[in-house]
Amino acid sequence: MRSVSFSAVNAGVVAMAVSYAGPLALVLAAADKAGLSAAQRSSWVWAISIGAGLTCVGLSWWTRTPVITAFSTPGAAILVTALAQHDYADAVGAFLCAGVAATALTATGVLARVLARIPEGVVSAMLAGILFSFGTAIFTSLRSAPLLAGTMVAGYLLAKRLWPTYAVMCALGVGLAVAAADGGLGLHLRGPGLAVPHLTVPHFSAGALLGIGVPLLVATLAGQYAPGMAVLRADGYRPDERLVCATTGAVSTLLAPFGSHAVNPAAITAAICTGPEAHRDPARRWVAGVSCGIGYLVVGCFGSTLVALFTGLPKPLVATLAGVALLGALSGSLARTVADERHREASVITFLATASGVTVAGIGSPFWGLLAGVVAHILLKSRRDQPAGALGEDRHLEAAGGAERRGQLADHPADGAGGDAEPPGDRLVGQPLHE
């Protein structure tokens, strides 16, 4: 009990609230476009909440480290466009396969070697292409609901300057206030309702595996797993990466038939709980992880209430909220897309193909964008490998800048966390309890 402190508990609650403030709108937008029933929506919210809660509590307690997990935001963004193109049972099959693949890749240590073969700019470009439509939706909402969207954007920007951690929550609060004053809130709650898990028997199809499973796997591994672990390392923690990542992958797999698309280590919410604001003593910040996980579990039990709340919100409010919540992710992804001149052309091709929204043979644009970028990278690689004095000097300079680019790894496409600096050895904390 001596490890429990108000600051650590509060940090966990704030991290949980931030996790729901914007990303949940993406989940419900995807469910809406796919025409899912109320039971399926409620089960989806229940599955991702319970998954994040169990992993937060279990991993934080076991490792004595503030391990913060969340549901995949870039994965939810992919599903907004991809889920409507496939039967829901096929999508659940893709979730299941992506979870199995994530577990295998992280548990065996293959993840780092696989990601090393795909340029960071290409993966970031795929994510930027997915998020592009969410950014433009802000201005579409400004046209259809100028007062609502305008005040939300203004509230977000003001809070971003003064209280950046709470910027998305402030945008939501301003939007709710304006919508309520304008009579645009259609909330009809009969009281809190417990969520009931809804089992969907997975069905496997090549179209869903390529159109949903592959982009979901790549975006989650590259955009969530690596940055999430980088945030922990930046604050001096050294948990077993295979344990943390494989556990979240296994939980995602088990909950996939109930709607969980992906549960993974978080970055920005992790930064809320791993810094000195949570507790001055790094060895006592693990309480924030447990607090965050308990919050997930409580909220997940009332998933049907959350669905009712969000489905009663005006569409411009939800669109603007999702857009401002992903501004940091979009800007970070665009920056990494063009950061490395060696892979810039391939990355731009990936971005354009993904942002086009093209669908071929029932397979969505994220897969085709990634495929186009990888092919372009392979075809252009021979040109970069040509030996020359000047080119050799450029490669030396680029190698010297590689550490700086790797330092941006934790600028997570969905979370926007801080860099991956190597801490001094005397700050290592959070050894597994069983040791």
**Tens of pLDDT along 342-376?**
888 999 998 998 888 776 755 667 778 888 888 88
The per-residue pLDDT for 420 is 38
Condensed to tens digits (0 to 9), the pLDDT of residues 401-414 reads 444 444 443 443 33
Average pLDDT over every residue of 36-50: 89
Average pLDDT over every residue of 70-96: 88
* 182: three-class secondary structure by DSSP: coil
The per-residue pLDDT for 250 is 94
Q: Which of 383 and 407 is assigned the larger pLDDT?
A: 383
- Our measurement of the distance from residue 23's CA atom to the centroid of its chain's CA atoms, rounded to an integer in Å, reads 8
* 0.85 exceeded by pTM: no
Do residues 274 and 237 touch, judged by C-beta distance below 8 A?
A: yes
Do residues 194 and 343 touch, judged by C-beta distance below 8 A?
A: no
How far apart are alpha carbons 95 and 41 in whole angstroms? 15
Do residues 365 and 81 touch, judged by C-beta distance below 8 A?
A: yes
pLDDT higher than 50, residue 149: yes
pLDDT higher than 70, residue 167: yes
Do residues 263 and 48 touch, judged by C-beta distance below 8 A?
A: yes
The per-residue pLDDT for 340 is 83
Average pLDDT over every residue of 179-198: 70
Average pLDDT over every residue of 156-183: 83
pLDDT higher than 50, residue 427: no
Condensed to tens digits (0 to 9), the pLDDT of residues 311-346 reads 667 778 877 877 887 787 688 788 888 888 888 899
Element (H, E) at 94: helix 88-107
Condensed to tens digits (0 to 9), the pLDDT of residues 205-249 reads 998 998 899 888 887 877 678 777 767 876 778 888 889 989 999
The per-residue pLDDT for 46 is 92
Do residues 225 and 73 touch, judged by C-beta distance below 8 A?
A: no
Do residues 126 and 355 touch, judged by C-beta distance below 8 A?
A: no
- Average pLDDT score over the chain: 78
